[in-house]
A and B are shown apart, each in its own frame.
Chain A
Amino acid sequence: MKAMSCHSVQDRLSEFLDRLLADEEREKVAAHLASCPACSARFQSFETTRATLRRMPNLPVSAALAMKLRVLASHERQRRLSRASVSAWLRYCHDRASLQFDNLMRPMALPFAGGLLSALLLFSMLVPNLSFRHTVGDDLQLVTYTEPEGRLVESLPADGAPTWFWTGNSPEPTLESADAVDSGKDTVLELIIDETGRVADYSVSHGQLTAEMRSIILLSRFTPATLNGKNTWGKKLVRFPSGPRRTRRNVRS
């Protein structure tokens, strides 16, 4: 039987260790190992390494990982079952949707209930002490607004001496603030006054546009409204009383 070289034996050491060599080859390797200390030492270290590898402690699966795997298996099983029929699929979708909804709502339920209860408790404690006093004037006035002011003019004087005249036949109309209460009976002319004091637009409620109104619109001049000292647009109401006709009189400024 021809002896093997060290190189040949070393190439076969792994298979020899795993008992995968044919009988004849195995005997040759065994004979070489018995006579060659270097190869024998090499084989011994192979064997020791493998023994240590096999004796390495088994790494236990942690409880957390085992639980995750069970949950994963459960989900995948449900997923597989849901594909069996349409009704199973619909039930699966419904279960998932309700689970998602529960998961979404559950974290909010306690804070919401707690907040609501504490709000109710606080409110019920505070209600007897609540008072609704109006502290008008305490606030710092941030916006100053003045309404447009002026006198109504039906016609301009011939000599130019008096500035403002009322020469109409009807009872003298009154100039009122834009937020005055409308009685519903009087004819009201609403004037929009621009920043130069002229009438820019108008509208008539409860009546027709008369010649007097036209004159008022054309001839009247106003001190424009101001907002924080600057001229701005404003609104005024001209109320024409619906009472009995009074005597004619002049209005001088």
Chain B
Amino acid sequence: MFAISTLLDISVLTLLVVVALAMVRERDLFATVMLSGIYGLLSASFFVLMDAADVAFTEAAVGAGIFPLLMLTVLTSVGRYEAGARRIRILPLVLMLALAGALFAAVVQMPPFGAVDAPSHAHVAQRYIHESPDEIGIPNMVTSVLASYRGFDTLGEVVVIFTAAVGVVVVLLGGRPKTPQQSSQALMAEHKVLRIVGKMLIPMILLFGLYVQFHGEYGPGGGFQAGVIFAVGIILYAMLFGLSNAQRVVPLGVLRWLVALGVLIYGSVGLASLLAGGEYLNYSVLASDSVTGQHIGIILIELGVGITVASAMVLIFFAFTRATRSRDELEE
């Protein structure tokens, strides 16, 4: 049993290094994006091998799904081949080597993987592991730590995603929703097979997103992953049926409201805890029984996270696509 997992670990890590080297040397940026998709899938497989299911989930959705999609949108406006010959420049090389040296030194000094006396296993983690079944009572301990014990950090993450969406909207869309343009319908109209298969798949994808959202307490999943899955379903619709149709289904105005709504829900749960007599984001006071209060709090904030992440991703995708579209039209 140990030999096979070591073998798998070594193979996946070797493939990671090979792909990373190839990405750096490749001049065709399209190929680089493809390779980065492979890199994301490899990383996610490695996380699965390390028994980190939630992280693997998120890495698959983001690193192999959303990230190449967004990079492709950027490529359509930037151009495909890396420009210019490369000269070796001394200062960046030295800086990078120094950074790499420092990182290696730090990693070598870390305690061995899984050692019992490692700092990450010693202090608060012990308390979380022992007390979580009694205090919070959900099987997936990752969710209980993320949503309840470290709720502030998760609030910060949601606000970061919200801010990113706001930044993209301001820079690319000028802050005001424009009327949707006529997209190139003719191109996709020939793709009957894809459209029919898409019509079958998109409801399943959205349903799977709902499953992941509400099942996050019992298995890998939760708000972030569910939000990304939802966004991917809507983006698939936009790709198969055209941007203007997609914007009729989810208008930009609605998306801007939704992305704020998620953060609002999260903050309001904290506020409700304050009003009920506890500290900010202490869910135990939300119901008469503290375990029920924890459950209510966790479900609500995961919902907030899911809503913000889904609308942020869709908003960023729409903004990128519209920006490249309007540049093309300006040039013609």
**A, B from the same assembly:** no
Tell me the B residues contacting A by CB distance below 8 Å. Answer: none
Q: Which residues of A contact B (CB under 8 A)?
A: none
